[in-house]
C-alpha cells in the first residue's frame, strides 16, 4: 500500500512539475524559492541588465540597436554548474560557459574593454584588423594570434568557424545580419553589444561591465568604471570654474548636407560638460542634425571654435573640398580641431576605438582646447589642431 501511495505521489509531483514547465516555457526552470534573483546596479547604462540568479547570471540586452522591438537573454554559467543545471533553451538566445577562453569581437569599441580587463589574449579574430589602433592588440595581430575576418558586413564565417570561438560579440543595425545566423547555427552564441545606442558618454563607458560579466570579472569592471566616472566628474567640476563659454561649431558637409550632433546626443553632452556654448544645444531627437550650408553659416559664422570637421585633417583639404568653409571665422583664425589625425600604425582612428570607453579623456581634451588656462600639464589625447 505504501508503495502504491509513493508511486501515486511521485506521479502527482511529476504532473505538477510538467504543468509548471508548460506555463513557464519562456522562462528558466525555477530554482528553489530560497534562491532570489537580483539585478546588479548600473548607474547610467540603459541598454543591458545583469541579474544574478542562484548559480548563474542572466545577461539581458534591452537595446541591441535603435528602436529595437525585442531584447536578448543569455545565460552565463560555469561548466561545473552547467553539468547539474537544466535550462529551457528556447527561453534564451545563448548559454555561455564561463570562464571564456576565446572570443571574437566585431567593433573597435570592444577592444579597450578587453585590454582594461586584461583579457585581450582571449581575442582570436576580428573583421578589419587594420582599423585597430591599440599597440598592445596590434602586436598580437602582427604575431598572427588574431585572425583577419574580412569586413564587418560580410564576416568570413568560414575562418570564424575554423577558429571556434566560445562567443562572438556583435552589433546590429536592425537584427538582419545573415552571418550571425550562420554562426549561431554552428552553436556559437552571438551576443549583441549596444553600447553605441546609449544616450550619454558615461552610459556608453559603463558597458565595460558587460564584458566584466562575460569574463567573470565583475569587480574589476566595476572598479575600472568607477575610476573613469570619478575622473570625468572631476574634469566637469573643473570646467565650471570658468565664466567665459566659447561658441562651438561641429561637423562638416557631406555632399549637400551638413551633419552635426543634435543637442541631446552624447557628443553635445560632452560639450556641455566642458562648459561651452554649443550653438545647437537646444535641439533634440535621435541621430545627427542634417542642415543646409546656409543655415549653418548663418548661425556659426563667428563661432570661436570648430570641432570634429568630419575626417578632414588640414585647412587645405577643407578649402579644397568646399571653398565656402573659408567664410567661417574659426577657419580664418585657425581654430579647428579634429581627432582624425591621431591614428594607429595602420591608419585606424584611435578616437573611434577608445573614445567610447574613455569619455574622461575626451572631456579633458575638449576642456583643454576650450579653456586652455585649465589642465596646465595635460596634453590632448585625441584632438589636434588642423595644420
**What digits encode the pLDDT tens for the residues 195-237?**
999 999 999 999 999 999 999 999 999 999 999 999 999 999 9
Give the span between the Cα atoms of 386 and 384, in whole angstroms. Answer: 6
- The cell numbers describing 32, all together, are 528553489
CATH topology of domain 24-228: Rossmann fold (3.40.50)
pTM of the model: 0.88
Taking only the tens place, the pLDDT of each residue in 14-50 is 333 333 433 333 333 333 333 455 567 899 999 999 9
The pLDDT of residue 128 is above 70 = yes
Taking only the tens place, the pLDDT of each residue in 144-185 is 999 999 976 689 999 999 999 999 999 888 878 889 999 999
In sequence order, the 6+-apart residues with CB closer than 8 A to the CB of 199 are: 46, 264, 265, 266
Q: CATH topology of 24-228 equal to that of 242-385?
A: yes
Intra-chain end-to-end CA distance of the chain, in Å: 95
Percent of the chain with pLDDT over 90: 78
Q: Are strands 384-385 and 336-338 parallel, antiparallel or unpaired?
A: antiparallel
Give the span between the Cα atoms of 364 and 371, in whole angstroms. Answer: 10
CATH assignment, 242-385: 3.40.50.1980
**Under 8 Å between Cβ of 227 and 357:** no
In sequence order, the 6+-apart residues with CB closer than 8 A to the CB of 146 are: 123, 124, 125, 126, 129, 137, 140
Query: Position of cell 541579474?
Result: 51
Torsion of CA 60, 51, 83, 165, to 10 degrees: 40
The total of other beta-carbon atoms located within 10 Å of residue 41's CB is 8
Domain-wise residue ranges, the chain: 24-228, 242-385
DSSP assignment string, 56-69 = EEEEEES-SSTT-S
9: helix, strand or coil: helix
Amino acid at each position: 500500500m505504501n508503495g502504491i501511495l509513493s508511486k501515486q505521489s511521485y506521479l502527482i509531483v511529476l504532473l505538477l512539475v510538467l504543468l509548471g514547465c508548460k506555463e513557464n516555457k519562456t522562462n528558466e526552470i525555477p530554482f528553489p524559492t530560497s534562491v532570489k534573483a537580483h539585478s546588479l546596479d548600473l548607474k547610467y547604462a540603459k541598454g543591458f541588465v545583469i541579474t544574478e540568479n542562484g548559480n548563474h547570471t542572466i545577461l539581458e540586452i534591452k537595446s541591441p540597436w535603435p528602436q529595437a522591438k525585442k531584447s536578448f537573454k543569455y545565460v552565463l554559467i560555469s561548466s561545473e554548474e552547467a553539468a547539474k543545471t537544466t535550462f529551457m533553451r528556447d527561453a534564451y538566445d545563448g548559454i555561455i560557459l564561463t570562464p571564456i577562453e576565446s572570443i571574437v569581437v566585431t567593433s573597435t569599441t570592444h577592444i579597450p574593454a578587453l585590454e582594461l580587463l586584461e583579457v585581450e589574449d582571449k581575442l582570436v579574430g576580428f573583421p578589419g584588423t587594420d582599423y585597430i589602433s591599440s599597440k598592445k592588440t596590434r602586436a598580437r595581430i602582427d604575431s598572427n594570434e588574431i585572425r583577419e575576418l574580412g569586413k564587418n558586413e560580410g564576416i568570413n564565417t568560414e575562418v570564424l568557424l575554423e577558429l571556434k570561438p566560445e562567443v562572438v560579440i556583435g552589433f546590429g543595425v536592425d537584427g538582419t545580419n545573415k552571418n550571425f545566423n550562420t554562426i549561431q547555427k554552428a552553436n556559437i552564441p552571438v551576443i549583441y553589444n549596444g553600447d553605441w545606442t546609449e544616450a550619454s558618454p558615461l552610459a556608453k563607458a559603463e558597458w565595460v561591465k558587460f564584458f566584466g560579466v562575460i569574463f567573470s570579472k565583475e569587480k574589476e569592471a566595476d572598479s575600472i568604471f568607477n575610476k573613469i566616472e570619478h575622473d570625468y566628474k572631476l574634469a566637469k567640476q573643473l570646467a565650471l570654474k570658468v565664466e567665459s563659454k566659447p561658441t562651438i561649431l561641429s561637423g562638416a558637409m557631406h555632399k549637400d548636407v551638413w551633419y552635426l550632433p543634435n543637442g541631446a546626443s552624447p557628443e553635445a553632452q560632452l560639450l556641455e560638460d566642458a562648459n561651452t556654448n554649443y550653438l545647437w544645444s537646444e535641439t533634440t531627437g535621435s541621430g545627427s542634425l542634417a542642415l543646409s550650408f546656409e543655415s549653418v553659416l548663418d548661425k556659426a559664422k563667428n563661432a570661436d571654435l570648430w570641432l570634429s570637421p568630419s575626417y578632414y585633417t588640414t585647412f587645405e583639404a577643407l578649402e579644397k573640398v568646399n571653398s565656402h568653409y573659408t567664410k567661417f571665422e574659426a577657419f580664418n583664425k585657425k581654430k579647428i580641431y579634429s581627432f582624425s589625425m591621431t591614428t594607429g600604425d595602420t591608419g585606424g582612428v584611435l578616437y573611434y576605438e577608445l573614445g567610447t570607453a574613455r569619455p574622461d579623456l575626451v572631456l579633458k581634451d575638449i576642456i583643454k582646447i576650450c579653456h586652455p588656462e585649465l589642465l596646465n600639464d595635460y596634453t590632448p589625447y585625441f584632438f589636434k589642431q588642423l595644420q
